[in-house]
Structure 1
Amino acid sequence: MRRIAALGLESPAIPSLVTCLTHLNLSGSYFQGEIPSQISYLSKLASLDLSFNPQLKWKEDTWKRLLQNATDLRELVLDYTDMSSVSINIFNLSSSLVTLGLRGTWPRGNLTNDIFCLPKFQHLYLSDNEYLQSQLPQVNCRNSSLSILDLSNSRFQGSIPPSLSNLTHLTYLDLSFNSLNGSIPSSLLTLPRLTFLNLNGNHLSGQIPNVFPQSNRFEKLHLSGNYLGGELPSTISNLQHLIMLDLSENEFSGQIPSSLFGLTQLSYVRCSHNKLQGPLPNRIAGFSNLITLLLDDNLLNGTIPSWCLSLPSLKDLRLSGNKFIGLISANISNSLENLDLSYNKLQGNIPATFFSLANLTELDLSSNNLSGSVHFPFFSKLQNLQYLYLSQNELTLNFESNVNNYSFSYLKSLDLSFMGLTEFPKLSGKVPNLSFLDLSNNKIHGRVPNWLHEMRSLYLLDLSHNRLTQSLNQFSRNHQLKVLYLSFNSLSGDISSSICNASSIRILQVSHNKLTGIIPQCLANSSSLEVLDLQLNKLHGTLPTFSNNCGLRTLDLYGNQLEGSLPESLSNCTHMEDLDLGNNQLEDTFPHWLQSLPNLTVLVLRANKLYGPIASLKTKHGFPSLVVFDISSNNFSGPIPKSLIQNFEAMKDVVQDDGWQYISTSLTGRKIYTDSVTVTTKAITITMEKIRKDFVSIDLSKNRFEGEIPNVIGELHSLRGFNLSHNRFSGRIPQSLGNLTNLESLDLSSNMLTGNIPTELNNLNFLEVLNLSNNHLVGAIPQGEQFNTFSNDSYKGNSGLCGLPLTRKCSKDPEQHSLPSLTIKREQGFEFGWKPVAIGYGCGMVFGVGMGCCVLLKGKPLWLVRMVA
């Protein structure tokens, strides 16, 4: 690292040669420390570039002096230096300034109108400044010369001011990746010189104004990742200079205007992830220069017109996730490099012309209704093919060939899942660079061929949902393999420590098999293993000791026969997010030492032999990330510590997740490992094969907890499921439960609760399942809101309750509804069976059962979601 003092700026007598400098460029020179105040002596500077010196720091006084003295500055480029001590409000810039670059400098304060109105100012780059969390200023001047304005990724809020149209010289405007809302001002689209507009990644809504003038000069228009909707404007046909159009990830509907297909200069069109519908036109007048056409994930229907596949310059065509039907046209352009027609309803066989596409690198025809016989070696004619996806069709693949020397030299990813295969494909020596192979959901049996074990390039192998009966240990020869899926087969026998010879494995999923014996110690010693999923086998013995460099993110041993205590060495797994040891025979006290795991999101210890009280947690930050906490069907006792609930920080803030995101691990290719969990929610026990990140649940049911329900439960605002049933809780139902406005399921049945049902529970507008049965509650049942949806079963076994839906009417005398004289006897025992208890339910029961049925297979690709949905 160096200091600017090397130029002599800090010496007592600054050389006159230095003070006469007009151009100084020190960009990317690894300078550090504060900029010396003597830099202000360079009064003759016309151009100063100190960019890309991230450890070079400005002081506010130095900045002020420079601006006061360097009155001839025309170009000032300070990108990615440190201006966090400087307020943007004191930018008293020189009237001679033409270019100002302040990308990633992080100045403080609010952007003002003055900076736009300098008489000679033309270029302002102010992107990547997260401290500018303000609104865009109104532009009051009408004589601005500004032509380039980049304010992207700087957390600007509020609406786009229509006064930006006063910047009539603008050619380039980038407001992308901020938090702007409201509609797009129509005046912005009529700026006479504007050629580039980027509004990607904001919160804009409404329709695109239908105001594009015929004189417009737009070349690139980016509006993706907003909430724009309605039909696309018909005046889009006026954009005759348009080269690039990106409208993806919005809510546009209706048909694509035919005028769009007449734009002859377009080379890139992306309208993916919208609600566009209707057929594509059979004939078009433009698109002769089109290179990329992305219309995937819409509602487009009809047949795919032949022009769509035969455009002369087309390289990338993606029409997946629509409703196209019929045959695939044989008229196809040789320029194609990427072709994705997956997730439609296309029929017939693969056209023979596909096998002559010499430039094709990716072909995805998966999830259609294609049929007929395909001679698989024909694909080897596609000499540049890297990705081939044929899954979920009715094609019959013939792997036999009279030619011995054919090969797929560049093939990296091959998906033949859901193809009805009964044996392994004969690809020995044919796929030397294959890294991703999916043969799942077939009917394959027999031995795994040697060529699979010997492939050094193989990264991911999915053989799940087949009929394999061999031992897991045969895969110990796959030394380079990182991801191995073998779930839902009939693998049996012990897990030998030889499996650890496959030392590169990151994800090992062998759930739903017939494995026996103990878990090898070497698996717990691995630093590379991130996911170990052995749920629903017949493993026994004790848990191994986990090493200090444990790299596990997910450990799922649910539904085995494991016994003994919980090893405290699990606290060494500091990356752990999902720990599921449910439905075993573990016998120990509550593992309070797990509270130190900073990323632990899911903790399931249900249906074991755990016992004793849960001691108050001594740390203020225990379990900071936990959102699923299930210790039901054990033998825990005593009160619920207030400190335990207060530490559930991740349950306090409601996270809006409209993208249906899941707890998962991303992988190479199109695979994703999704964590699963078995829970009791909304009155039924279900296995959720995908855990939504906003699914927040606490289940303490079927234990021996006692005392009052802590009031601090009301602080867990993101709770969706809360189950305390079949315990010994006493006292009143806390009024604070009315704060849980996201709650969907509440089960307090079979306890010793007394008093009235709090009227605050009427605040729970999302409550679908309520069970307060078999307590000692008294008084009138609250009326209105969700309470009108619950049946008698929600309240049975409470002789002191009255009012609808019960037949017992409430007396006008409140004394008539007080707690009857009785002797409360402590219950002697509980049954810990797995049969769901039939409890009261409301209008949400259908939803609850539906959620239970809509389960997807763990380890399946995200693209499978669309098929099931």
Structure 2
Amino acid sequence: MGMGDCLERFCEEETGRSDRENDLEDGELNQRVVRVLLRDGGAVERVDLSRCELRFLPEAFGKIQGLLVLDVSHNQLEIKKTRKRVPAGVVTMKTSVGWLLSATVVIPDSLAGLQKLEELNVSSNLLKSLPDSIGLLINLKILNVSGNRLNALPASIARCSSLVELDASFNNLTCLPPNIGYGLLNLKKLSIHLNKIRTLPPSVFEMWSLQYLDAHLNMLCTLPPEIGKLANLEVLNLSSNFNDLTELPETIGDLPNLRELDISNNQIGALPDTFGWIENLSRLNLDQNPLVIPPKEIVSNGVEAVVEFMLKRWVNIIEAEEKRSMVEANKQGETGWLALGTSVLNYFASGVSPSVTGSPGLRKGEVSMDP
């Protein structure tokens, strides 16, 4: 019988247990799991115990030294049964590549022992915080902490310099660490939707590798002009920010690779004049905004029509500005000559010659001439 069959059989046995059996001591449950896991001589790299109605996380997982991936998601690991924290043996497996604990409650500081960890999924739990030691996971590439009760992310997360994907959606975040972007220069995908974030720190826009930013269903009231630094950004979702987002910065036009933009369900009345510069835009959602610029008839014709309209509008603005500058320059020139003529007349009217002779008191009509 293969490892997959063993685990499947174990799950069936656990699902059919009586209420009395659910009260088994941790030690007995641990032994039952270990017998399954060690049946192939301990040569287990990936363990999937999801949807097995497990009530406890056995300490014996620490004995599986070759474990690469552990998934115990969608179980019944209760808060009152897991207050003693994740077993210490689990966080000392140096060979781990992925650690998927989607139903645990506490993440210990000893998590830092997984120096080779590349993927960590602790989604869909009741976590209220993450340990500062998470910043020691310098080889971590994918981090999923979505679907928890996090009020903040630790500042140390900025030290996870290998991160490529970060999903912190569906939490209670009100802000991001001020320094988060300075260390995550390799991050390509950032998902922070379904939170309560009001502003994005400027450091976010130092993530020059960022290609995907999803911040919909937050409380964003403004988007910093630094957004224009994200030259590699391809997808931007700012929809449904509780009617707080009223405008986009002019620097939105500095995103040459932007392909998808969703700003629906906001209070945006006009697109920035530089919007026509986004030449690679292929998907655009402007629904449920009090838009005046561009008008509805243009929006109804699709993204190409919107970009074309805004580009023509930009050209017209530039031409009008050039004409205004020329008229202003001409007025200044005419005003200069008029001022000089008025000055001359004033001299004559006062009985003083405009000639500089050093002779005071010349009467009207007299000319001073040097001998």
Paired letter, 1:333: C
Helix, strand or coil at the partner of 1:183: helix
Residue of structure 1 equivalent to 2:125: 298
User: Do structure 1's residue 343 and structure 2's residue 196 form an aligned pair?
Assistant: no
* 1:800-828 residue CA offsets vs partner (Å, 9 max, x unmatched): xxxxxxxxxxxxxxxxxxxxxxxxxxxxx
RMSD: 3.7
Paired letter, 1:230: R
Given that residues 316 and 338 in structure 1 are in contact (C-alpha distance below 8 angstroms), is that contact kept between their aligned partners in structure 2? Answer: yes
**Once the 2 structures are TM-superposed, how far is the Cα of residue 292 of structure 1 from its aligned partner?**
0.4
User: Do structure 1's residue 361 and structure 2's residue 188 form an aligned pair?
Assistant: yes
Given that residues 328 and 347 in structure 1 are in contact (C-alpha distance below 8 angstroms), is that contact kept between their aligned partners in structure 2? Answer: no
**Once the 2 structures are TM-superposed, how far is the Cα of residue 453 of structure 1 from its aligned partner?**
5.8
Residue of structure 2 equivalent to 1:391: 216
Residue of structure 2 equivalent to 1:269: 99
User: Do structure 1's residue 238 and structure 2's residue 55 form an aligned pair?
Assistant: no
Paired letter, 1:261: V
User: Do structure 1's residue 325 and structure 2's residue 151 form an aligned pair?
Assistant: yes
Paired letter, 1:421: L
Q: Structure 1 CA distance, aligned partners of 2:273 and 2:236?
A: 18
Structure 2 stretches of 5 or more lacking a match? 16-28, 307-371
Paired letter, 1:268: G
User: Which residue among 246, 265, 268 is the counterpart of 1:441?
Assistant: 265
Q: Structure 1 CA distance, aligned partners of 2:211 and 2:96?
A: 28
Given that residues 253 and 277 in structure 2 are in contact (C-alpha distance below 8 angstroms), is that contact kept between their aligned partners in structure 1? Answer: no
**Once the 2 structures are TM-superposed, how far is the Cα of residue 311 of structure 1 from its aligned partner?**
0.8
User: Which residue among 238, 248, 270 is the counterpart of 1:416?
Assistant: 238
* 1:769-798 residue CA offsets vs partner (Å, 9 max, x unmatched): xxxxxxxxxxxxxxxxxxxxxxxxxxxxxx
Q: CA 1:432–1:224 in 2, change beyond 3 Å: closer, same or farther? A: farther
Q: Structure 1 CA distance, aligned partners of 2:210 and 2:264?
A: 22
Equivalent positions of 1:115-126 (< 5 A) are: none
Runs of 4+ in 1 over 6 A off after TM superposition: 176-181
Given that residues 264 and 289 in structure 1 are in contact (C-alpha distance below 8 angstroms), is that contact kept between their aligned partners in structure 2? Answer: yes
Residue of structure 2 equivalent to 1:314: 140
**Once the 2 structures are TM-superposed, how far is the Cα of residue 336 of structure 1 from its aligned partner?**
1.2
Q: Size of the alignment, in residue pairs?
A: 281
Helix, strand or coil at the partner of 1:228: coil
* 1:523-573 residue CA offsets vs partner (Å, 9 max, x unmatched): xxxxxxxxxxxxxxxxxxxxxxxxxxxxxxxxxxxxxxxxxxxxxxxxxxx
**Once the 2 structures are TM-superposed, how far is the Cα of residue 268 of structure 1 from its aligned partner?**
0.8
Q: CA 1:475–1:458 in 2, change beyond 3 Å: closer, same or farther? A: farther
Given that residues 178 and 201 in structure 2 are in contact (C-alpha distance below 8 angstroms), is that contact kept between their aligned partners in structure 1? Answer: no
Paired letter, 1:291: E
Residue of structure 1 equivalent to 2:72: 247
Structure 1 stretches of 5 or more lacking a match? 1-163, 165-171, 186-205, 482-869
Given that residues 288 and 313 in structure 1 are in contact (C-alpha distance below 8 angstroms), is that contact kept between their aligned partners in structure 2? Answer: yes
Residue of structure 2 equivalent to 1:809: none
Q: CA 1:350–1:475 in 2, change beyond 3 Å: closer, same or farther? A: farther
**Once the 2 structures are TM-superposed, how far is the Cα of residue 338 of structure 1 from its aligned partner?**
1.1
Helix, strand or coil at the partner of 1:269: strand
Given that residues 408 and 432 in structure 1 are in contact (C-alpha distance below 8 angstroms), is that contact kept between their aligned partners in structure 2? Answer: no
Q: Structure 2 CA distance, aligned partners of 1:214 and 1:225?
A: 19
Given that residues 238 and 263 in structure 2 are in contact (C-alpha distance below 8 angstroms), is that contact kept between their aligned partners in structure 1? Answer: yes
Q: Structure 2 CA distance, aligned partners of 1:475 and 1:177?
A: 54
Choose between structure 1 and 2: higher helix proportion.
2
Q: Structure 2 CA distance, aligned partners of 1:386 and 1:371?
A: 21
Given that residues 152 and 176 in structure 2 are in contact (C-alpha distance below 8 angstroms), is that contact kept between their aligned partners in structure 1? Answer: no
**Once the 2 structures are TM-superposed, how far is the Cα of residue 177 of structure 1 from its aligned partner?**
12
**Once the 2 structures are TM-superposed, how far is the Cα of residue 249 of structure 1 from its aligned partner?**
4.3
Paired letter, 2:115: S
Q: Structure 2 CA distance, aligned partners of 1:417 and 1:385?
A: 19
Paired letter, 2:170: Y
Residue of structure 1 equivalent to 2:286: 463
Helix, strand or coil at the partner of 1:229: coil
Q: CA 1:294–1:337 in 2, change beyond 3 Å: closer, same or farther? A: same
**Once the 2 structures are TM-superposed, how far is the Cα of residue 289 of structure 1 from its aligned partner?**
1.0
**Relative contact order higher in (CA < 8 Å, ≥ 6 apart):** 2
**Once the 2 structures are TM-superposed, how far is the Cα of residue 233 of structure 1 from its aligned partner?**
1.3
Q: Structure 1 CA distance, aligned partners of 2:232 and 2:215?
A: 17
Given that residues 453 and 475 in structure 1 are in contact (C-alpha distance below 8 angstroms), is that contact kept between their aligned partners in structure 2? Answer: no
Paired letter, 1:426: E
Q: CA 1:299–1:413 in 2, change beyond 3 Å: closer, same or farther? A: same
Q: Structure 2 CA distance, aligned partners of 1:236 and 1:434?
A: 45
Paired letter, 2:65: Q
